[in-house]
């Protein structure tokens, strides 16, 4: 069940502000409020999907393509030729805090190899 009051839903509705990086019809990318790297961007679909499973099961193909192509828009825009990391947290064990599907894009320095 999707929570319409979650913080990213409210950012999409422009109830609360964000520092936008880019968007298209299918995604919005904005700066994480509590960055964990010099560059920390959140990329969210514009549809109402609570997590990765929900998005991959229920989004239309065009939404999925438009969303994932958006990641490369951000990479191009920020000129991340030295690389970057993409992370998604899904559900309780994944440590997801905001129940609107999102990918974290981290960059701007050499990140540690640890994935946990
Ligand atoms: P999660 O743990 O769900 O994968 O990640 C949620 C992310 O949202 C965290 O990195 C957190 O810093 C970020 N965040 C939480 N509240 C806000 C907010 O109001 N605005 C922005 N831009 N980011 C937020």
**Strands of the sheet with 103-107, listed across from one edge:** 20-23, 27-31, 39-45, 103-107, 85-87
CB 89 less than 6 A from any atom of ligand 1? yes
Q: Residue 114 has what pLDDT?
A: 76
Q: Does this model's pTM top 0.95? A: yes
Site to probe by mutation for ligand 1, drawn from 9, 17, 28, 42 as the one with most ligand atoms within 8 Å of Cβ, is 42
Mean model confidence pLDDT for the chain: 97
The reply to whether ligand 1 has any atom less than 6 angstroms from the CB of 39 is no
Q: What is the pLDDT of residues 81-103, one digit of tens each?
A: 999 999 999 999 999 999 999 99
* 3-class state of residue 107 by DSSP: strand
Q: Determine whether the shortest distance from the Cβ of 26 to ligand 1 is under 6 A.
A: no
């Amino acid at each position: 069940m999707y929570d319409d009051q979650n913080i990213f839903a409210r950012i999409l509705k422009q109830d609360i502000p964000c520092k936008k990086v880019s968007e298209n019809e299918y995604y919005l990318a904005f700066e994480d409020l509590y960055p964990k790297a010099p560059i920390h961007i959140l990329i969210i679909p514009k549809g109402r999907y609570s997590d990765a499973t929900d998005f991959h099961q229920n989004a239309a193909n065009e939404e999925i393509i438009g969303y994932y192509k958006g990641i490369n828009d951000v990479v191009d825009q920020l000129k991340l030729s030295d690389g970057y990391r993409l992370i998604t947290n899904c559900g309780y064990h994944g440590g997801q805090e905001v129940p609107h599907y999102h990918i974290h894009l981290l960059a701007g320095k050499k990140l540690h190899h640890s994935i946990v």
